[in-house]
Structure 1
Amino acid sequence: MVGTPRHSVSVAGIVVDESGRVLVIRRRDNGHWEPPGGVLELDETPEEGVRREVLEETGTSVEVTHLTGVYKNMRRGVVALVYRCVPLTIPTQATAEATEVRWMTLDEVRRAMSPAYAVRVTDAFEPHPRTRAHDGTDLLP
């Protein structure tokens, strides 16, 4: 169909250690704390994309366990598929895409991240996947 709007698809990994802490990054491009993730490439499955993005941004190999949520940035037209993951290796201190890589508790995540990103982390602790819309910062009703 001519003129049909296009969406971008991104993936993110909520990497949780045995203590319940979450692996997060401080993005090099904007300084924000977020779960590791990025654009899904055309030739990869969502799970492959999550493994690649988490490795690129944290230096950590992960096992992807399950989908925890689907989130749409209404302003930018980006649909994010978010997956819970288990770390298989130890993260690095910083990467080409992250000035800091560290473990945070859920309380620290809620304080450090904007609501649109913190909810991706907290939803990963719920029993069923969620769908949500946001404007890039705040959740929309």
Structure 2
Amino acid sequence: MGCKLITVDKRFRYRAAAIIIEGGDILFAKNERDSYYYSVGGAVKIGESAEDAVRREVLEETGIAYEVERLAFIHENFFEGKGGTLKKGVKCHEVCFYYLMKSRGTRELKSDSFATDGIREFMKWLPIEKLETYEAHPKFFIKELQSIGEHVKHITTKE
């Protein structure tokens, strides 16, 4: 079970996600229902470390056992559901640990992934230099991926 709390109009989730970069492109996920791209990753399970969670999620979504290079960002994200996966109007609070994964030197994946609600997911490489032209989350990637620092950066966003 993932670490999350849900009420009628509020949701909190503890998440771990990957930053997988190959040749100037970053890997995102997308599903058949929603219009936007989102980071590869998912809920941390109770009793699981965030680092173990990101390795598990990446393997589940890409079919590849990527290695963690290091923690890059801790993101506190406050937003409201707009329909689709998240019911419209639901107030969301998410804490996500973003891990930079070690490059494999290839974009080849063995993806056959489904979101928790059974909807098919697809992996897509998006060019970092054109990220602002896509509806991709998190939005802070547009600026921060241009030069990822050596120290963990804490980012808070309110949409």
* Band the TM-score falls in, shorter-chain normalisation: 0.7 to 0.9
Greater strand percent: which structure? 2
* 2:30 maps to 1:26: yes
Comparing 96-105 with 65-74, which one deviates more in the overlay? 96-105
Distance 1:120 1:39, change over 3 A: farther
How large is the RMSD of aligned CA atoms in angstroms?
A: 2.5
DSSP 3-state at the match of 1:61: coil
- Give the TM-score normalised by the residue count of structure 1: 0.75
Q: Which of 119, 133, 138 is matched with 2:140 structurally? A: 119
- Give the TM-score normalised by the residue count of structure 2: 0.68
Write the distance in 1 (CA, Å) between the matches of 2:18 and 2:45: 15
Matched with 1:83 is 99
Distance 1:68 1:39, change over 3 A: same
Q: Which runs of 5+ in 1 are unaligned?
A: 1-5
Q: Which runs of 5+ in 2 are unaligned?
A: 1-10, 80-91
Q: Which of 21, 26, 35 is matched with 1:16 structurally? A: 21
Distance 1:60 1:7, change over 3 A: same
Distance 1:80 1:28, change over 3 A: farther
Distance 1:99 1:8, change over 3 A: closer
* 2:54 maps to 1:67: no
How many equivalent residue pairs? Answer: 129
Write the distance in 1 (CA, Å) between the matches of 2:49 and 2:32: 26
User: CA-to-partner distance for each residue in 1:79-115, whole Å, 9 max, x for gaps?
Assistant: 111110025583135522353212221033222134x
Write the distance in 2 (CA, Å) between the matches of 1:95 and 1:14: 18
